[in-house]
Amino acid sequence: MTVISLHRLGLTQCIWRLFERLAADGLQAGGEAYSNFLFVCGQNNDHQHELDVLEQMAKTAHTRGLQGGTWNSFVIKALQVGDVGRARKGLQIIDDEKLNTPMAEHLRQRAGAPPAKNPIGMIEWRRREKDEHEWVTNAQGFSLRLNKIEYYKEVGTMHYILGHGAQNDLPSIHRAIESFTREQELWLKLAGDEKGAVLDEVIKMQDKPRLVVEVGLYVGYSSTRMASQMKAWGGKVISMEVDPFHAVIARNTIEWAGLSDYVEIWCGHSENLIPRLRERLPEKSIDILFFDQQGTKMHTDLEAIRSLNLLSDKCCVVGDNVLRPGSPQFMYWTCAGGPWETQIVSLKEYKQEVVEDWMSISFYQPDSPKVGLPMVIPVSVEQLAHDTDGIRWQSVESKVSEDQWDSHSQRMRKEFWKAGIRPHEVVPTLDEHGRSRVALKPKGTNLLPAG
């Protein structure tokens, strides 16, 4: 929070003196600090300091796979801002450190850089066995979750994308990601399979949306799925991501898919980034708002964006994982308390065939008598949100079994009903090719609640 506090005080020079001291000492600043540094860069359109931060992230990453992916992201960004010199410098470091991959070769061609001296390989990655410890102690004596140091699931995803996904072939890239989860038996927070079909249907229903704002980029699966369709009419996606290493890995996915011109990445916390939307977008410009972040923050982010008059008249708001782990306040406001028309798609969480989850689809109702009412969330719903965060953090700090998740989802459904959260339900079907299809109700339909 030191960086954000300095930013709010207008002490930008102090921020970069702090960063320069960290870099001079060769220190790894940590994900939260890097996220805040990148937020300040984005806020000020400070491309050179953004490249400095990415360079420091690459130098101090804990594994060679994460280093390689971060250096790739550094070069991609340098090319985007027209700094070919720094792009070539990054490519030289990639070669010197023997981090050459098919992505680096693609970027070498874009930058007009000399051929690599060292062989081309793959993003280095090792699948950790289940009996290996997930926690380690760093040099300062703090216990840290191993995945947040190595990002081994996300680096593994990048390994599969570059090894199995054909360049500029999004279906092939998405199959590579799905193969990774299946073959390595690792769960990823993806809008894949049935959830991807929901996004496809929303894009179709919105009739050539011009702008999607996504909160929660992760590895770039959903952003590329939407952008690949929207590029035909010049649409784009702005995606917010709080984790800077997720952002750099997603940048690899997006570039390999050939969609860097159609997906804009904003790094930082959503509550800090939302005011930037108002600064840079015209009123009523967001056609789809996709929430894929912590569920108990969705309602405040929704109302913050709506209050800025940024939602178009046809805007559709999509919420992921609103049943499991859950978004009680968001669901109460869009289903019972506020001026919204909502339906949900009942489906199974990706790669977990037992556990039910929901995606919500909501339309703003400007003629509703609830327009202008303050957001008031019942105490019982706030308590449910507290419990939701409890199991979410339990899943971060230890394993939550599929039976526990199933029990949680069933309880959430029952508690939602008690609170008056009774949206119309849609169930996906399969077409003749075995692909998921979702038939959503258009805006203005007289939706019947769950029975």
Distances (CA, A) of 111 to 2, 80, 157: 36, 11, 25
What is the pLDDT at residue 140? 54
DSSP code of 193?
T
163-172 pLDDT, tens digit per residue, is 999 999 999 9
256: pLDDT strictly greater than 80: yes
Q: What's the token pair of residue 398?
A: 């230890």
355: pLDDT confidence band, cut at 50, 70 and 90?
confident
- For 267-326, what is each residue's pLDDT tens digit? 999 999 999 999 999 999 999 999 999 999 999 999 999 999 999 999 999 999 999 999
Q: Among residues 246, 178, 170, which one has the least CA distance to residue 214?
A: 246
Contacts of 430 (CB under 8 A, 6+ apart): 436, 437
Q: Report which of 277, 335, 265, 266 is spatially closest to residue 301, judged by C-alpha positions.
A: 277
Task: Give percent of the chain with pLDDT exceeding 90.
Answer: 75
Rounded to whole angstroms, the Cα distance separating 42 from 254 reads: 19
User: pLDDT (tens digit, 9 = 90+) per residue, 65-119?
Assistant: 999 999 999 999 999 999 999 999 999 999 999 999 999 999 999 999 999 999 9
What tens digit of pLDDT does each residue of 365-415 get?
Answer: 888 899 889 999 999 999 999 999 999 888 776 678 888 989 999 999 999
Confidence of residue 49 (pLDDT cuts 50, 70, 90): very high
- Residues linked to residue 288 through DSSP beta bridges, in sequence order: 212, 316
d(CA 285, CA 266): 17
148 or 398: which leads in pLDDT: 398
Q: Are 301 and 270 in contact (CB under 8 A)?
A: yes
Nearest-angstrom CA–CA distance, 314 and 338 = 17
The confidence score (pLDDT) of residue 150 equals: 82
Residue with tokens 């400070």: 46
Other beta carbons within 10 angstroms of residue 57's beta carbon come to 25
Q: 156 - beta bridge partners?
A: none
Cα 371 to Cα 361: distance, rounded to the nearest angstrom:
19
